[in-house]
Amino acid sequence: MSGLHAGYTLAAAVLIGLCVGYGIDHWLESLPWGMVGATAFFIVAGLYQVVKEHS
């Protein structure tokens, strides 16, 4: 079950990153750089969370 939890955590990180990035792009009119940056940040944060929980 922990592998499934890790997958959900990373999938949620990607979706949240895309949504936050879209909002940043809409606000700053900088498509697609806000989505790229925010998604990368949230993927790193999701990976950190998975590693922290499984160590």
Q: What residue segments make up the domains of the chain, in order of their start?
A: 2-53
Distance CA 1, CA 24 (A): 35
Closest CA to 13 of 40, 35, 36, 46: 46
pLDDT band at residue 1 under the 50/70/90 scheme: low
Encode pLDDT of 32-54 as tens digits. Answer: 999 999 999 999 999 999 999 88
Measure Cα distances from 15 to 18, 46, 52 in Å.
5, 11, 20
1 vs 36, more confident: 36
Amino acid type, 39:
T
3-state SS assignment for residue 41:
helix
